[in-house]
Amino acid sequence: MALLPDSEEPSYLLPADREAWTEHGAPDFVYGQQELVLEGVQWSNVPTVPDQLPPSVSRFDSALCSAWKQRMELGLFRYCLKELQTRILPGTVGFVAQLNVERGIQRRHPQDIRSVRQAFDPGQFNFSHIRPGEILFCLRPKPLLPDASQLEDIFVVINISPLERGHVLLVPEPARGLPQRLLPSVLRAGLEAVLLSSHPGFRVGFNSLGGLASVNHLHLHGYYLDHRLPVEGAPSEPLDERGHLHLLRTLPAPGFLFYTSQPSADLETLSRRICTATDYLYEQEIAHNLFVTRGAPPGMLSPSSALTGLRVILWARKSSFGIKESEAFNVALCELAGHLLVKRPEDFCSLTEASALALIQDSLLPPAQAHKVQAALVALMAQENQ
């Protein structure tokens, strides 16, 4: 790792003595709003992450990638993640398929989850059980104005079965025992994490219970991918007159789009608006996935290099509990965005755009129910405007 945090900042690396890990509290990554990278992030000349970081790397990228790489070298993951075989599937969508056999074999078996609204169970695995060395740092915003709501302290934790380099979990204080239900304060921290990165391929996402979340303890995923994805510039149409909610009709899957080009001012409002939608889905026992990426404004098809704001895409989908071992990939937040995590070499070689679309389409709500959800979300946005 060529770039490490400035010397006056706390160290994000573990002490050399393994015995000291339990004594070593997670350092704070304290940031101000001025560190949010709002402009100038583009796909040109983007290096591989995290082994080569550009001179303009953000402090957040340097801290996360250096600490993540050290944990890999120390053997804290279930497997050593090497460069993954990657191919862009021929066709109009632009699917990015990656072969990750070890994740398919060695990841923790999903918990016995039977409901989107299932209560937190302290007897099941949860993030209060992780080893201290798995925590990279605690994301902590500088104190806000007295009349503004405070953000959560978010633990940035390695995913011990990584899907890509830099794969982490964003976990609010684990001792609170929160179930996997999205909260505005936690979502806002995830939005800010994307903006703290100067890499266009750092994304954040959320899987609900029934939407392939394997642990019922509130967490977001964050990871780097050195490829554009279809949802960055996909065309959309407004669903409400204020432009708060848009519909992506394009492949790989239709979804609801929320967007802001002024994130420094809008993140709190945007987070509440999105959670109004996810709260409805939660109460209706409708599984859902969410994906946060830099991207183009809503409207007509835009070049995927036009990363002028934040896109947050929300998909309502059929509930699916457990891992479907017979399928080439499981459909969760990455796959709905166009990033396919393939488990077996034979599937990786034979996968086509048509077969990938068939798997994804099979996970979506039937048309009548999808239309009902759309009408409900439009009504909720209208109530917010009154």
Q: What is the pLDDT of residues 128-152, one digit of tens each?
A: 989 999 999 999 998 754 444 555 6
pLDDT band at 105 (very low <50, low <70, confident <90, very high): confident
> How much is the average pLDDT of 54-72?
90
Concerning whether 219 is annotated as a catalytic residue, the answer is yes
Q: What is the pLDDT of residue 165?
A: 94
Q: Provide the sign of the torsion angle of the four alpha carbons 329, 334, 336, 339, taken in this order.
A: negative
pLDDT, one tens digit per residue, over 22-47 is 555 789 999 998 999 998 899 975 65
- Angle (CA) 294-262-297 rounded to 5° is 50
Residue 118 placed within a domain: yes
**Active-site choice (219, 221, 244, 339):** 219
- Could you tell me the pLDDT band of residue 304, with boundaries at 50, 70 and 90? low
- Report percent pLDDT > 90 for the chain: 73
Residue 231 lies in a domain: yes
Whether the per-residue pLDDT at 2 is higher than 50: the answer is no
State how far the Cα of 5 lies from the Cα of 11, in Å rounded to an integer: 7
332 within domain boundaries: yes
Q: Is 87 inside a domain boundary?
A: yes
Whether 117 shows a pLDDT value over 80: the answer reads yes
Instruction: Please give the average per-residue pLDDT across 169-191, as a whole number.
Output: 96
Domain annotation covers residue 21: no
- Model pTM score: 0.92
How many folded domains does the chain comprise? 1
Q: Is the pLDDT of residue 298 over 60?
A: yes
> SS3 for 91?
coil
The verdict on residue 19 lying in a domain is no
Mean pLDDT over the full length of the chain:
89
Residue 185, domain member (yes or no): yes
The answer on pLDDT for 305 being more than 80 is no
Report whether 365 contacts 318 (CB < 8 A): yes
**In sequence order, which residues have a C-beta less than 8 Å from that of residue 218 and are 6 or more positions away?**
171, 172, 178, 179, 180, 181, 182, 183, 186
CATH, residue 251: 3.30.428.70
Q: Strand 28-31 and strand 287-295: pairing?
A: unpaired
Asked whether residue 300 carries a pLDDT value surpassing 60, the answer given is: yes
Domain of 252 in residue numbering reads as 31-385
Determine the pLDDT at residue 251.
85
Structure confidence at residue 9 (pLDDT): 57
Low-confidence winner among 12-16, 164-168, 279-283 (lowest mean pLDDT): 12-16
336 vs 129: which has the higher pLDDT: 336
pLDDT of residue 16: 63
Q: Is residue 273 part of a domain?
A: yes
- Residue at 205: amino acid letter: G
